[in-house]
Structure 1
Amino acid sequence: MIVDDNLIAKLEKLSSLKIEDDKKDKIKSDISQMLEFVNNLNEIDVSNVEATSSTVKGGTPFREDIAISSKEISDSILRNAPKSEDNYFIVPKIIE
């Protein structure tokens, strides 16, 4: 995969983030290094390794699922959103 200005522009749009022009080269380099690392994982032979779904013996312990509704919490979260309306995040349409 080629990490170029078009890819960075697409990532900006999808993430609703603005990347400063002076930082784009560094980000392109970082993403390229990450992709190179992931490509290295393809070279590992795992044909004799049994698949696992958890490393915890007996599975993950469950906890009580208790819903907490707090205007204070939701306001503090939405304050960090690029766009929000009526207690919801506004996100770009990604399916055309």
Structure 2
Amino acid sequence: MNTVDDKLLAKLEKLSSLKIEDENKEKIKNDISQMLEFVNNLNEVDVSNVQATFSTISGGTPFREDIAVSSKEISDAILKNAPKSEDNYFVVPKIIE
């Protein structure tokens, strides 16, 4: 199992564009380790006799008419929550170097 160390936490901070305060780093590392341990435990579950399912909706997914709607009010309502936007688009930091 991979250890969640300061190097990995710094990488996750950069990828998520989040700043984790120093006093919270140990708790975050512990929480992430517990999550990884839980997910790793799922690998031990025997599902060989379980039939794969693709949908939990009986009868499949209901279809509806797909109608595009362009509304300045909707765009403004969505973009007001963005940290940065320009010309009705989200502006995001470059993460691939």
Task: Give the TM-score normalised by the residue count of structure 1.
Answer: 0.78
Question: Are the counterparts in 2 of residues 14 and 92 from structure 1 also a CA contact under 8 Å?
Answer: no
Answering whether residue 59 of structure 2 is matched by residue 58 of structure 1, we say yes
For residues 10-42 of structure 1, what are the alpha-carbon distances to aligned partners after superposition, in whole Å with 9 as ceiling and x for unaligned? 222222222222222222222111111101100
18-27 vs 35-44, which deviates more?
18-27
- Percent identity of equivalent pairs: 82
Counterpart Cα distance in 2 of 1:20 and 1:72 = 37
Deviation at 1:44, TM superposition (A): 0.3
Q: Equivalents in 1 of 2:77, 2:10: separation in Å?
A: 28
The aligned residue for residue 11 of structure 1 is 12
**TM-score using structure 2 length:** 0.77
> 1:76 matched to which residue of 2?
77
Please state whether the residue corresponding to 1:53 is helix, strand or coil.
coil
Structure 2: state its 5+ residue gaps: none
Higher relative contact order, structure no. (Cα contacts within 8 Å, ≥ 6 residues apart): 1
1:36 corresponding residue in structure 2 = 37
Count of matched residue positions in the alignment of Structure 1 and Structure 2: 96
CA distance in 2, matches of 1:4, 1:89: 32
